[in-house]
Amino acid sequence: MATNRTFTMIKPDAVAKNAIGGILKMINDAGFRIVAMKYTKLSTEQAGAFYEVHKERPFYGELVEYMTSGPIVAAILEKDNAVEDFRTLIGATNPAEAAEGTIRKIYATDISANAVHGSDSDENAEIEGNFHFAADEKH
Ligand code: UDP
Ligand code: MG
């Protein structure tokens, strides 16, 4: 099960640009099924915990501030090879380096405000999905 799922967030910059619909269409058109989804706003505690792995990085403080600056959409997605295929769909962390046709190339502002999150491993997909959703919220 876990190997067929990934976790995503549509980040505050993309929500502010009114890009939720466009991004969800790209996700659906790429063959991902939405297993769980919510429109929410992260607290400083939640964003800090979610990005705990980056705690020692110089951008951590700014990242937490940015991720709490406005509402987000959190979702669990299902597809064969979900983690890898979704990372391909979103493109490189820095939109200046993202391939043509990727979500970040189309919608991201810069390396920080880069429109979407995508889990980097099956293990993290499960941890991140469970961070945002209870078992009975996944369908
Ligand atoms: N980030 C940033 N500056 C950097 C690198 C990353 O602000 O130099 C932010 C950016 O929002 C990125 C997130 O931190 O999406 C997590 O970084 P990671 O290296 O895990 O990139 P991702 O997996 O999101 O592509
Ligand atoms: Mg990452």
AA identity, residue 100: E
Q: What domains does the chain contain, in order, with CATH numbers?
A: 5-133 (3.30.70.141)
* pTM for this predicted structure: 0.97
112 CB under 6 A from ligand 1?
Answer: yes
Q: What pLDDT digit, counting tens, does each position of 76-125 carry?
A: 999 999 999 999 999 999 999 999 999 999 999 999 999 999 999 999 99
Between helix 82-90 and helix 122-132 the angle, nearest 10°, is 80
Question: Which ligand has the nearest atom to the CA of 51?
Answer: 1
Give the pairing of strands 72-78 and 33-40. antiparallel
111 CB under 6 A from ligand 1?
Answer: yes
Tokens standing for residue 73: 């959409």
92 CB under 6 A from ligand 1?
Answer: no
State in Å: Cα 118 to ligand 1 middle: 10
Q: What pLDDT digit, counting tens, does each position of 33-49 carry?
A: 999 999 999 999 999 99
Concerning whether 139 is annotated as a catalytic residue, the answer is no
